[in-house]
Chains A and B, each alone.
Chain A
């Protein structure tokens, strides 16, 4: 069974009970109002309290809610038990995009999965709380900093499914979206085995700029920083090398030259010397030395 089917049958059950109850309550109400209107029924009649009636209208709803609770619980239990042999993907939420990493170290911007195989998504967040939500599979779980969480689903049909962030996480929350891309299993295996562009060598070697942009995609830099001079949540990276910037550090405001030493520090610990006029939103990164040098080279020429 898929997660979608497991959840949808609980939906059907609760919606059916709800519609029946709504029709009953509204129907009775309207019928009484018409039947006992003043012009037709000028004198109200005393109605004796009926214990049987009160017991019935307490017990029957109690049974109904217990039934709904039970099926809700069973469906949930199913959602919390990834089948053995699931494909594990680590998903990192950050302001404001999702990063996906596979067991072999392959990284991507979208969640590529093979058709028919269960996928277990291990969630983490590097900054604030995000929530990984795939409506098509009826699954959602928060990514909380300092905490591991997970969910699973099984894609049963081709075609992309939207991924949303469902927990408000700041200015570009509505743009923290991605997609699940379902592939034929053989095609997926080929994709998974192919190295990421940064790891390629020989004739296919990408340009230094492509490699740097790959790193920036991976760390989600473009969510806040443009490279064409457009102002966004963070300062633009165009011409950042050697620019004079005003920073705030420990309550003091001063100017400095944005040189290699500063940029290196700003990438690793952005809060220490914050550029004036921008919020302290950027999470500290853990760039590898190689990534750092690729990035710094690129910033020089932007």
Chain B
């Protein structure tokens, strides 16, 4: 293919360039970039809100805001990070870009539906923003919208909930698209067990997106109906039950955690073999455990409700199931570490981010055990321990993996290479700041500091100060990374087609990839086969 000319997907298309060529493009790669820009914009808004919350908490009493403002801030932080960043971001950005390429397809199965999904995402995001400035002001319920408080508060819960409802459709349609793509568009020779684990992870995630999200949609419709018409489904005075909401909410929102973490597990499974130059250990175990996690993940929602007053029998059953779902995740970690054994390891930025991921994600998983066990969860429930734990999973896990993946595929997506020195500086700050911020929260939780508190007793202050200072260091690391990548877009060296010596199909095509990915049907061999050298 060497000397043939390929128009890159980034080149101005025949119909003319400009914004229109992006927001109406049906090219999965352009749509991935649309998602990347819009979702990361929300990430930085969410992070800025996080910084403001930490500032308020640097000392007891009022520092910057009134309690009602603080309550709105933590609600916004949660809603933005969960519904506008992690849930759409993990599958839709890199999944859109690389899932079709990795199975040798020219695009996803339904390119126009794919574009519609992005538009629905934007519509949902605008509704969420609108809920801040209309009605009774920004919602103050926490991202979980627990009744009966969410039914009584005068803030604009109805619109915020409607926004989450709309965002759900974007997620469902993306899931539908990915499942169909994997089933129908694999290149000749690309059997299921030749697919990279990235594809397996996104395939499993897509099933959760289409099966779990409708439950959230129904639940949110019920909340709107309660607020608008007072039908009494969750109101004990009318024969309803507030716990019903929690069950419905977590039947979606627990599997949603796997929407956030399964795709990152897929990124990790691509990056480690490339830098160890070695077949991934336990390919089939990782592939199938993604599916196992996706389905068993439906059965553990009750662990969010161990102090809710639900029956003691339900509590121990959910505790047992929770421990069992921990095993496949643990086994994946062992597989990744085992892949390093006897490899030929090159410590490039993506791999070092992966090492940070393994450490932070392990802490996230192990702190989960303390909450899976009933006796200890009773103490830890709704404390800072929970906040620390899920940031270790979602930030230390999913987002560190996302940064690793972005650094891994950045040269492919943009055709440019970034400054590795800047990345080392970024990672050092992120790692130190992250642990100061969230490990303090773990200890605060053990000490009994409840979450969602605007104010606290003086004995908790030292650790709050450590956490706040940590948040500054962490955000400095994020800014350095963002700056390094933005600078690379203009000034970075030209990246070759295969800078890391990878063997999956995206490395066989130029960087940045041409419009329809492959000019000839790709040759498909065994996955992770490094014996023939890097892909060409």
Which positions in A face B, CB cutoff 8 Å?
Answer: 6-7, 10-11, 14-15, 17-18, 21-22, 25-26, 28-30, 32-33, 36-38, 41-47, 49, 53-54, 57-58, 61-62, 65-66, 68-69, 71-80, 127-129, 131, 133, 135-136, 138-142, 144-147, 149, 162, 164-175, 177, 279-281
Report if A174-B67 is in contact (Cβ < 8 Å); known contacts: A47-B281, A57-B334, A72-B374: yes
13 more contacts with CB within 8 A, not counting A65-B369, A280-B154, are A6-B375, A10-B375, A11-B379, A14-B370, A18-B366, A21-B362, A22-B362, A53-B338, A75-B375, A127-B148, A129-B149, A135-B447, A279-B136
Q: Flag whether B231 is at the interface (Cβ < 8 A).
A: no
Contact B323 A46 (CB under 8 A): no
How many Å lie between the Cα of A149 and that of B136 in the bound state?
A: 33
Q: Which of A26, A136, A279 contacts B362 (CB 8 A)?
A: A26
Residues of B within 8 A of A164 (CB): 448, 450
Residues of A within 8 A of B330 (CB): 61
How many Å lie between the Cα of A173 and that of B136 in the bound state?
A: 19
**Contact mask B131-157 → A, CB, 8 Å, 1/0?**
000001000111000101100111000
Contact B456 A174 (CB under 8 A): yes
30 examples of A-B residue contacts, CB within 8 angstroms: A11-B370, A18-B366, A22-B359, A22-B362, A25-B337, A29-B337, A37-B345, A38-B345, A41-B344, A47-B281, A47-B338, A58-B327, A61-B331, A62-B324, A66-B323, A68-B369, A72-B377, A73-B374, A75-B374, A76-B315, A76-B316, A76-B319, A76-B375, A78-B375, A79-B378, A131-B381, A141-B309, A144-B243, A166-B451, A172-B67
Q: Which of A18, A21, A144, A177 contacts B308 (CB 8 A)?
A: A144
Task: Kindly name the residue among B142, B243, B319, B366 whose own CB sees the greatest number of chain A CB atoms within 10 A.
Answer: B366
Contact B452 A32 (CB under 8 A): no
Contact A168 B243 (CB under 8 A): no
B275 (CB) vs chain A CBs: closest residue: A38
Question: How close is B450's CB to chain A, nearest CB, in angstroms?
Answer: 4
Q: Which of B319, B363, B375 contacts A7 (CB 8 A)?
A: B375
Contact B345 A41 (CB under 8 A): yes
Contact A47 B375 (CB under 8 A): no
Q: Flag whether B237 is at the interface (Cβ < 8 A).
A: yes
Question: How close is B346's CB to chain A, nearest CB, in angstroms?
Answer: 5
**Contact mask B9-50 → A, CB, 8 Å, 1/0?**
000000000000000000000000000000000000000000
Q: Flag whether B242 is at the interface (Cβ < 8 A).
A: yes
Residues of B within 8 A of A136 (CB): 448
Q: Which residues of B303-328 are within 8 A (CB) of A?
A: 307-309, 312, 315-316, 319-320, 323-324, 326-327
Task: Kindly name the residue among B326, B345, B376, B456 whose own CB sees the greatest number of chain A CB atoms within 10 A.
Answer: B376
Contact B343 A36 (CB under 8 A): yes
Question: How close is B93's CB to chain A, nearest CB, in angstroms?
Answer: 27
Q: Flag whether B394 is at the interface (Cβ < 8 A).
A: no
How many Å lie between the Cα of A53 and that of B338 in the bound state?
A: 10
Residues of A within 8 A of B153 (CB): 170, 279, 281
**Contact mask B262-280 → A, CB, 8 Å, 1/0?**
0000000000000011110
Residues of B within 8 A of A172 (CB): 67
Report if A139-B152 is in contact (Cβ < 8 Å); known contacts: A38-B345, A66-B323, A173-B452: no
How many Å lie between the Cα of A28 and that of B1 in the bound state?
A: 42
Contact A168 B316 (CB under 8 A): no
Q: Flag whether B347 is at the interface (Cβ < 8 A).
A: yes
Contact B342 A47 (CB under 8 A): yes
How many Å lie between the Cα of A177 and that of B448 in the bound state?
A: 13
Contact A29 B340 (CB under 8 A): yes
Residues of B within 8 A of A77 (CB): 312
Task: Kindly name the residue among A72, A127, A133 whose own CB sees the greatest number of chain B CB atoms within 10 A.
Answer: A72
How many Å lie between the Cα of A170 and that of B142 in the bound state?
A: 10
How many Å lie between the Cα of A172 and that of B243 in the bound state?
A: 23
Question: How close is B216's CB to chain A, nearest CB, in angstroms?
Answer: 20
Contact A7 B378 (CB under 8 A): yes
Residues of A within 8 A of B308 (CB): 142, 144
How many Å lie between the Cα of A141 and that of B358 in the bound state?
A: 34
Contact A42 B71 (CB under 8 A): no
Residues of A within 8 A of B67 (CB): 171-172, 174
How many Å lie between the Cα of A49 and that of B278 in the bound state?
A: 13
Contact B320 A69 (CB under 8 A): yes
**Contact mask B423-450 → A, CB, 8 Å, 1/0?**
0000000000000000000000001101
Task: Kindly name the residue among A7, A28, A29, A139 whose own CB sees the greatest number of chain B CB atoms within 10 A.
Answer: A29
How many Å lie between the Cα of A49 and that of B363 in the bound state?
A: 27
How many Å lie between the Cα of A58 and that of B289 in the bound state?
A: 12
How many Å lie between the Cα of A143 and that of B507 in the bound state?
A: 57
Q: Flag whether B372 is at the interface (Cβ < 8 A).
A: yes
Report if A135-B448 is in contact (Cβ < 8 Å); known contacts: A25-B362, A129-B146, A140-B382: yes
Question: How close is A256's CB to chain B, nearest CB, in angstroms?
Answer: 21
Report if A171-B381 is in contact (Cβ < 8 Å); known contacts: A44-B344, A133-B450, A142-B307: no
Question: How close is B451's CB to chain A, nearest CB, in angstroms?
Answer: 8
Residues of A within 8 A of B358 (CB): 25-26, 29
Residues of A within 8 A of B345 (CB): 32-33, 36-38, 41
Question: How close is A37's CB to chain B, nearest CB, in angstroms?
Answer: 5
Contact B369 A14 (CB under 8 A): yes
How many Å lie between the Cα of A144 and that of B68 in the bound state?
A: 23
Contact A32 B453 (CB under 8 A): no
Report if A140-B307 is in contact (Cβ < 8 Å); known contacts: A22-B362, A171-B140: yes
Contact A44 B343 (CB under 8 A): yes
Contact B276 A44 (CB under 8 A): yes
Nearest 5 Cβ contacts at the A-B interface: A146-B236, A135-B448, A72-B373, A75-B375, A76-B374
Q: Which residues of B46-95 are within 8 A (CB) of A?
A: 67-68, 71
Contact B372 A68 (CB under 8 A): yes
Residues of A within 8 A of B447 (CB): 135
Question: How close is A176's CB to chain B, nearest CB, in angstroms?
Answer: 10
Question: How close is A132's CB to chain B, nearest CB, in angstroms?
Answer: 9
Contact B457 A162 (CB under 8 A): yes
A20 (CB) vs chain B CBs: closest residue: B366
A26 (CB) vs chain B CBs: closest residue: B359
B351 (CB) vs chain A CBs: closest residue: A33
B66 (CB) vs chain A CBs: closest residue: A171
How many Å lie between the Cα of A111 and that of B224 in the bound state?
A: 38
Report if A71-B242 is in contact (Cβ < 8 Å); known contacts: A21-B362, A25-B362: no
Q: Which of A26, A45, A174 contacts B342 (CB 8 A)?
A: A45
How many Å lie between the Cα of A62 and that of B236 in the bound state?
A: 41
Task: Kindly name the residue among B241, B334, B457 whose own CB sees the greatest number of chain A CB atoms within 10 A.
Answer: B334
B315 (CB) vs chain A CBs: closest residue: A76
B456 (CB) vs chain A CBs: closest residue: A174
B336 (CB) vs chain A CBs: closest residue: A29
Question: How close is A21's CB to chain B, nearest CB, in angstroms?
Answer: 6
Report if A46-B279 is in contact (Cβ < 8 Å); known contacts: A129-B148, A133-B448, A144-B309: yes
Q: Flag whether B355 is at the interface (Cβ < 8 A).
A: yes
Task: Kindly name the residue among A38, A44, A54, A131 whose own CB sees the greatest number of chain B CB atoms within 10 A.
Answer: A44
Q: Which residues of B452-470 are within 8 A (CB) of A?
A: 452-457
Q: Flag whether B367 is at the interface (Cβ < 8 A).
A: yes
How many Å lie between the Cα of A29 and that of B373 in the bound state?
A: 28
Q: Which of A69, A141, A147, A175 contacts B373 (CB 8 A)?
A: A69
